Structure 1
């Protein structure tokens, strides 16, 4: 398991090997984890010294330390930068502070990590591999964006395998982003967790049965397997099927129907005074949790007999947060009092 963790950290370093050079910066691969899990602290620097991890020992157990150095010719001179990674396992829950760390004569910026209580996991059965799946809402509305998460737990190093989540009838299912890997302690065993996220959108009301995810693969076997055979063992796991209760569109719901987790609307720029014939700028911002930009209606400021309105093109910033789409729209309006 230590070898697997070390390989995983090295993979993290390789992912960032193509990033633009930086002096010294630090980041976490996950800033929210549960007790028993690990997150990877990454540090990129052009300093010639390694990070001093000692301040981390107060709140974290450290493992899987790795590093990588790159050399490059820039403007006729040789430059170098180093990438460091270390797996952190919190010793307590709560909002933890990753302190500033010294890297030679440089210092990283402090970070924060939210550590929640260890969740109850009832799907393992004590096996070498098992699958846990869950939705962020058990009773969503029709057309509501639902985050669907599948986690593959493995207590043995995996050599190869395929993790599949069949699409349910009566809903669309779209895979979101890349798989995330981390470690979690369950009882006395350490599991490598592969987490895969999907966007689930129910298309009709009633019961929605999510077919079980399935894993088929091979892992490192026991000492007997290695002595008498190929050193590999077949591994199979199937999640429990899940059932969601999908609520219909309310009879008095406004149209177009767009169920959201949250919606905020505010003025970013709002002038205190205006002059007839002179344009003033008004900037309106909308944030929606649970929708893409293409699903939202246009931001509008209506013209009146007292003013003309000239809108600019809206600017959008879309992201995935906790497996759900989130969008921020900004639109500038030139308003001319008449």
Structure 2
């Protein structure tokens, strides 16, 4: 078995995936036509050319423009189904997907339209692939905390189908402390907590996420390595980092994949995982990210298995499900020898 095939078949969980960021140009055009929505691109090729951004904010501008084609429940279902099809082909057996309700409610789309469509796509993936999935509601950090509270209230009828809340969008200038009260409210409702920190923001943002938001999982976290004490703390406590190599390259968090810190994270004892973030925009789904990291940083099969193992350990699955996935992973490795 080639390393390419080994990575594809490796049972894995994806823990950092923005479902709106899986909107491929082909689906964008199809939905724009179906919903009679004007988009500022004349062709699929023009959309792909627009993806030549070099910083987070430029990406977000395109990301929000693309979301305008998502209008109806079936659109969100189709978006989710397209992602799960690709994830299943990449060996994903469990996915914890993030969605940004404010991106849609702020343009007049009902919260229920968004979540019911996504839930339908998740049910489809379970029926067709046996894939399990969970939903993470993300607050947009460039908006204020009051807007986040409004979103949390809107989610109330579906809280039994939402597993966590998160924090995404523009990081610089919007520290985690800005959302301490709403995260405390979400925790009181029994939700798990995750947050983007240490992507563009400094190590202090990671500390705020840990100490003020009391997160259960850290999204990105690359810049934690700048602080050896923080790095040791993350390793000692077993905090999961959801690392996204191709995203880091595309957004210039690293200047070259050859300089990506994924192997340093492993050597430092961090519970790092590999994920795709916004794959339609960043040029690769989860297996592509595994391959890019392995090729650039010389990761061997033992490293890849460790990353996959971490993805289950860092998931929000119950212990019995995690144990079953780890047994499946061990069986796959044994059969691949």
Report which of the two structures shows the higher radius of gyration computed on alpha carbons. Answer: 1
TM-score by length of 2: 0.23
> Which structure has more strand as a fraction of its residues?
1
Q: Which has the higher contact order (CA 8 A, sep 6+)?
A: 2
TM-score (norm 1): 0.23
More helix by proportion, 1 or 2? Answer: 2
